[in-house]
Amino acid sequence: MKRCFPLFESAVQENEASIRHLACLTDGIRFFSREPQVYGNYFDWNEKGQFGPWVIEDPENVNKKRKKVGLNTLEERIKEMEEDVRKNNLSPPKDYVERQSEMYQFLREVGWIA
């Protein structure tokens, strides 16, 4: 993902790729690097067992940023994701702390974080 970003960014500037997809790639890189996301595309379970967007760096302006790249509002996206959770009968992890520990271990092993 990280290595593809500059290529994808150039493709967007040359109108050969969608800025909407670049926004998703941006958030994906930030999510797996455990950094706040820009557009709110990535979701996860929180410590209270609630499913929602991963941390967003500027939540007050996220819908402006989403609109600028052709995404629906964060509220609409939350409803879509909640419906997906219901439809697929997904549930929060039994042990949030353990899941986070496993996630960080995985991210270190594959080189996302140090």
> Each residue of 6-55: pLDDT tens digit?
999 999 999 999 999 999 999 999 999 999 999 999 999 999 999 999 99
Question: CB of 15 within 8 A of CB of 23?
Answer: no
Asked if residues 30 and 112 have their Cβ atoms less than 8 Å apart, the reply is no
Cα 98 to Cα 88: distance, rounded to the nearest angstrom: 23
Residue partners of 99: CB distance under 8 A and separation at least 6:
45, 93
The rounded mean pLDDT for the chain is: 95
Split at pLDDT 50, 70, 90, the class of 2 is confident
Q: What is the pLDDT of residue 1?
A: 80
Number of H helices, E strands in the chain: 5, 2
DSSP 28-52: HHHHHTT--BSS---EEE-TTS-EE
Report phi then psi at 52, rounded to 5: -165, 180
In the predicted structure, residue 4 carries a pLDDT above the cut 90: no
114 has pLDDT over 90: no
Is the pLDDT reported for residue 70 higher than 90?
A: yes
